[in-house]
Amino acid sequence: MEDENPNGLAMKIKAMLEKVEPLFTDKCCIYRVPHEIRSSNVDAYTPRAVSIDPRRRAWKVLSCVQELEPQVRACYSDDIKLSKEEHVMVILVDCCFILELLLRFFSEESKEDDSVTIETHSTVSPDSQPDPPSHLRCVWKPFTGRSPDRTSDTNCYDFSIILTARTELSVEDKDSISLFPWLDEYLRWDLLLLENQIPFFVFNNLYDLAFSTLNGGTGHPSLLKLILGYFFGPSDDTDWDSGSIEHFTDLLRTFHLKQSISPLSRKKETLPFLKSAIQLHEAGVKFKVINKRSLCLLDLKFSGRTLEIPQIELEDKTEIWLRNMVALEQCYYPDESYITDYTAVLDYLINTEKDVDFLVNKGIIINWLGDSNAVAKLFNGLGKNIIHETFNAEYLRICKDLNDFCEHPCLRKVATLRRDYCNTPWKTVASVAGIALLILTVIQTVCSIIQVVQGFSK
């Protein structure tokens, strides 16, 4: 059997390679969380109430938003098992649901403001199935050429039920927002998960379309103001470039970085070993809380012997937020992983419950999780299977200065004395009394010697 022509084999291999689609496009920004990271806490990356990930489901509905579909598809790291028609309908329904949710929340928060005239009412039909929300109906028609149909557009009505359950149903004539507080909270969590995202430019386009259809495009709040108000509370700080935001997870990260020193320099080094909070305290380091809300969470400072740390509030959602921001940085910002760097420093400072209790007493941590051990496990688990290619240069300097401080011989002896003899008020009093007694004894001894010497001289 003759060997195959080498040139022919090379041509076949070249043809095979040309058929292979790239793993990621340059527009990719929505990723599957790597298995090694996801395995440490699956629930932190999985939606509880609403999934808006087109990779999770397949719906058969009409064609719409077709001009955006290729751009949206390119934003996902893996293949979407939907036809173009199915995909664009998923985009339309999901985006309109979220926009209606944001608008209703804004209207509820602004009830006392007479200038707010946003239409957010839905009607309930005789068979108790609500009509689609006003903005969903408004955007649906320009794209599809008709109003949503109860029979064929079932998913449009499914989202309507969730919105109506949140804001329209009533018990004893009371607003039912209190009926499902767990749903309201889960919605916020789910919409910030990395795997549960829609590109931000889609929301911009649909939001502009909805309001140009409703009221001529005037008198409505900015989309960014709606989103920030929903996730983080009322804020006038909306002077951001929304064009640089990829999706809600990216917005969450931007929100925490917005007041950091820009640009933040980085070095291709690994973080050196750092003692825990208790060990640093015993070595003489003084911890100081910074509770100014205007300060960036990541703005750690060390000067003299004082380590300043901004206050952090730990709730059930904190781990979810941190994990998804870290996952985003691992996939999309490997050379700008500032949130990941911050969690790495906290991981060093917090080893045990004692470290947590110490930082709580200093006011640096506000622990709504209740259990100090849960806080320690949270930070100790965030760094599992995480890769650092570069590191925040300021954090590297702080760690080096802390290590140098702890290794200084004189400072170490002073810290030992403070730890062993002055760690409680009673020990301090006893130590001072002992030193005073020692000094008086020495003085008495010297005086006695002087008297003896003077006696001999006479």
Q: What is the rounded CA–CA span in Å between residue 241 and residue 225?
A: 12
pLDDT one-digit tens code per residue, 379-429: 999 989 998 888 999 999 999 999 999 887 665 666 565 666 666 677 777
Nearest-5° Cα angle at 316, 312 to 318: 40
Tokens representing 90 are 């998923």
**Are 432 and 371 members of one domain?**
no
Give domain status of residue 182, yes or no: yes
Give domain status of residue 62, yes or no: yes
Average pLDDT of the chain is: 74
**Are 205 and 315 members of one domain?**
no
pLDDT of residue 88: 67
Q: What is the rounded CA–CA span in Å between residue 136 and residue 66?
A: 17
Amino acid present at 125: S
pLDDT one-digit tens code per residue, 350-391: 999 999 999 999 999 999 998 899 999 999 999 899 988 889
The residues near 293 (Cβ < 8 Å, ≥ 6 apart) are none
Give domain status of residue 334, yes or no: yes
- Rounded to the nearest 10 degrees, how much is the dihedral formed by the CA atoms of 179, 181, 186, 191? 90
Q: What is the rounded CA–CA span in Å between residue 164 and residue 356?
A: 42
Question: Where do the DSSP E strands lie in 176-300?
Answer: 266-267, 286-290
Question: Is residue 116 over pLDDT 50?
Answer: no
State the average pLDDT over residues 128-142: 48
- Contact yes or no for 362/401 (Cβ under 8 A): no
Question: Is residue 151 over pLDDT 60?
Answer: no
**Are 317 and 294 members of one domain?**
yes
pLDDT of residue 64: 36
pLDDT of residue 236: 65
User: What pairs with residue 313 in β-bridges?
Assistant: 366
pLDDT of residue 341: 94
**Are 62 and 175 members of one domain?**
yes
Give 5 or 50, the one with higher predicted confidence.
50
- Contact yes or no for 194/45 (Cβ under 8 A): yes
pLDDT of residue 5: 64
Q: Is residue 80 very low, low, confident or very high in pLDDT (cuts 50, 70, 90)?
A: low
Q: Say what the pTM is.
A: 0.72
Task: Write phi, then psi, for 366 (nearest 5 degrees).
Answer: -105, 110
Give domain status of residue 392, yes or no: yes
pLDDT of residue 209: 75
Residue among 37, 45, 44, 46 at smallest CA distance from 383: 37
Q: Is residue 40 very low, low, confident or very high in pLDDT (cuts 50, 70, 90)?
A: confident
**Are 295 and 439 members of one domain?**
no
pLDDT one-digit tens code per residue, 180-225: 666 778 888 889 999 888 888 888 888 877 776 555 445 678 888 8
**Are 402 and 439 members of one domain?**
no
User: Sheet harboring 286-290: ordered strands across?
Assistant: 286-290, 306-310, 301-303
- Contact yes or no for 355/276 (Cβ under 8 A): yes
